C-alpha cells in the first residue's frame, strides 16, 4: 500500500486482506494516511516550506522523474529539524504520493538528498571537514531518507493507528558527525 524507493529505510504499509487493501487504497486517495519522513539534504535551508510542483517523466531520461509542466499534481511539505554547515536535517510530509516525489522536489529546490544516486549529484562537503566526516559523506551508500511515521485509521476496526520507526544507525552516525563538525566551527 505504501511503498518505499529502493535504498529508503523505514515503515511500509501492507494490507493483509482484499477488504483492507480496498479500504487503505481509498484512504490513500483521500489523503487520510499521514506519511512522515526524515531526510538529510545538501545545502542549508533557511526554513520550512511547501513544494507544490507537478511531477512527470523526465523528457530525455525516461527512467527519471522531474518537475514538468503538465505533470501530475504533487505537494511536499518540509520543516527544518537541524541545520549544519552544508546540510539540513528536515522532516517531510507528503500530501500526494508520486514516484520519487521527495527526491524530485528536494532536487528541484536545489537541496537534493545526500547519497541520492539519481537526483543528488556529488556529495557536498562543508569547508575543511574532518577526515571522518569527509569519508562518511562520500561513502553514504544510499539516499538519506527514512519513513519514520505512518498514521491512519484501521480499515476494519476504525481505530486510529500510529507507527514510528527510529532513524537507522547509518543515518544517526552521519547526524552525529555533522553535529560534531558544526560544534567545532
So which residues are the catalytic ones? 5
State how far the alpha carbon of 21 is from the alpha carbons of 12, 32, 54, in Å.
Answer: 13, 14, 27
CA atoms in the 13 A half-sphere facing the CB of 80: 13
In contact, 48 and 77? CB cutoff 8 Å = yes
Q: Cell match 571537514: residue? A: 129
In contact, 104 and 66? CB cutoff 8 Å = yes
Amino acid at each position: 500500500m505504501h511503498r518505499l524507493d529502493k535504498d529508503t529505510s523505514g515503515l511500509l504499509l501492507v494490507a493483509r486482506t482484499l477488504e483492507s487493501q480496498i479500504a487503505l487504497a481509498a484512504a490513500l486517495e483521500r489523503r487520510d494516511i499521514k506519511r512522515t519522513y526524515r531526510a538529510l539534504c545538501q545545502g542549508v535551508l533557511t526554513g520550512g516550506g511547501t513544494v507544490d510542483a507537478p511531477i512527470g517523466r523526465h523528457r530525455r531520461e525516461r527512467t527519471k522523474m522531474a518537475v514538468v509542466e503538465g505533470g501530475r499534481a504533487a505537494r511536499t511539505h518540509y520543516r527544518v529539524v537541524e541545520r549544519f554547515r552544508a546540510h539540513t536535517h528536515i522532516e517531510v510530509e507528503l500530501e500526494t504520493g508520486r514516484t520519487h516525489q521527495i527526491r524530485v522536489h528536494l532536487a528541484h529546490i536545489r537541496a537534493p538528498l545526500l547519497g541520492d544516486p539519481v537526483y543528488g549529484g556529488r556529495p557536498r562537503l562543508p569547508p575543511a571537514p574532518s577526515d571522518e566526516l569527509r569519508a562518511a559523506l562520500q561513502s553514504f551508500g544510499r539516499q538519506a531518507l527514512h519513513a519514520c511515521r505512518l498514521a491512519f485509521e484501521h480499515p476494519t476496526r476504525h481505530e486510529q493507528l500510529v507507527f514510528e520507526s527510529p532513524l537507522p544507525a547509518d543515518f544517526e552516525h552521519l547526524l552525529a558527525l555533522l553535529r560534531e563538525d558544526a560544534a567545532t566551527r
